Amino acid sequence: MNKQVRVFDDLKHVAEAAADEFTARAQQAIARNGRFTVALAGGSTPKTMYSILARRSAKKTDELDWTRIQVFFGDERHVPPTDPASNFHMANETLLSKVPLPAANVHRIHCEEPDANVAAAQYDRELVSSFALAGDEMPRFGLILLGMGPDGHTASLFPGTAAVQELSRRVVANWVPKLNTWRVTLTRPVLNQAECVLLMVCGAEKAPAMQQVMGDGSPEQFPVKYVAPSNGEVIWMVDREAISD
Ligand code: 6PG
């Protein structure tokens, strides 16, 4: 595993650098394989990066063929896509509706399903079909974008929840007691099969967890520590507040 930690002054600079990395990897993947597969992160941190990508596309300065990009999600809240809490809703508002991306290239997690397990199974079928997977093979994403919560969770792998220890299935529904809600999330084997995982972490509220994650905190307590692609890169893009002592 190749790991980089890049520190920036603030969220804006993190977002610019992450947008540059996204664009470079997309161009390389499209040139090499004819397509680029990316799983988007949810939450609020990625919004600035998504807006930058949308702006560059509008100004036609991104030199990206969006018809060659397949967009997935790392996780989803158990709400309909019209709900402001939905990760799809956030990504659609900031990016997907603003770039020339065919609707068929957007693979959202159908969390309008009353049973989160049904949504997880449907998304798994989407992965199997899109990546032409056989048996229990894991999809290899060109890029997986992730964030980190103040508790060290990533995607919807929250400390102490069942999904953190899932090593067979690709996608699971995960009950999160502290939020009293279901989530649907990619699992560790998928995250660690990626060519590149890019984590954006900003803000002072993340500093205590970052110290543990970069130090000797346990992965059970700080699940983002499990992110270690066996044959891929991990790039942390953090602001100074997130790594302040
Ligand atoms: C989600 C994300 C989650 C997020 C972290 C950080 O559904 O919320 O998948 O893992 O990346 O909670 O969120 P912020 O970027 O809002 O701090």
pLDDT tens column, 119-145: 999 999 999 999 999 999 999 999 999
Position 222 scores a pLDDT of 98
Q: Give the atom of ligand 1 at the shortest distance from the alpha carbon of 200.
A: 15
User: Does residue 224 register a pLDDT over 90?
Assistant: yes
User: Does residue 245 register a pLDDT over 90?
Assistant: no
Position 1 scores a pLDDT of 79
Residues 63-70: what's their mean pLDDT?
A: 96
Residues 8-16: what's their mean pLDDT?
A: 98
Closest CA to 90 of 126, 50, 53: 50
% the chain with pLDDT above 90: 96
Domain ranges for the chain: 2-179+200-224+235-243
Inter-residue contact 128 to 182 (CB < 8 Å): no
The alpha carbons of the chain give a radius of gyration, in whole angstroms, of: 17
Pocket, ligand 1, Cβ cutoff 6 A: 41-45, 74-75, 77, 87, 147-149, 153-156
Closest CA to 188 of 154, 213, 159, 160: 154
Architecture, CATH, for domain 2-179+200-224+235-243? 3-Layer(aba) Sandwich (3.40)
Q: Is 187 left (phi over 0), alpha (psi -120 to 50) or beta?
A: beta
CA of 34 to the centre of ligand 1 (A): 30
Among 51, 86, 156, 205, the mutation site with the greatest number of ligand 1 atoms within 8 A of its Cβ is 156
CA of 46 to the centre of ligand 1 (A): 9
Residues 45-67: what's their mean pLDDT?
A: 95
Question: Is this prediction's pTM over 0.95?
Answer: yes
- Give the strand pairing for 196-201 and 181-186: unpaired
Q: Give the atom of ligand 1 at the shortest distance from the alpha carbon of 153.
A: 10
Position 195 scores a pLDDT of 98
Q: How far apart are CA 114 and CA 177, in angstroms?
A: 18
CA-closest residue to ligand 1 atom 11 = 147
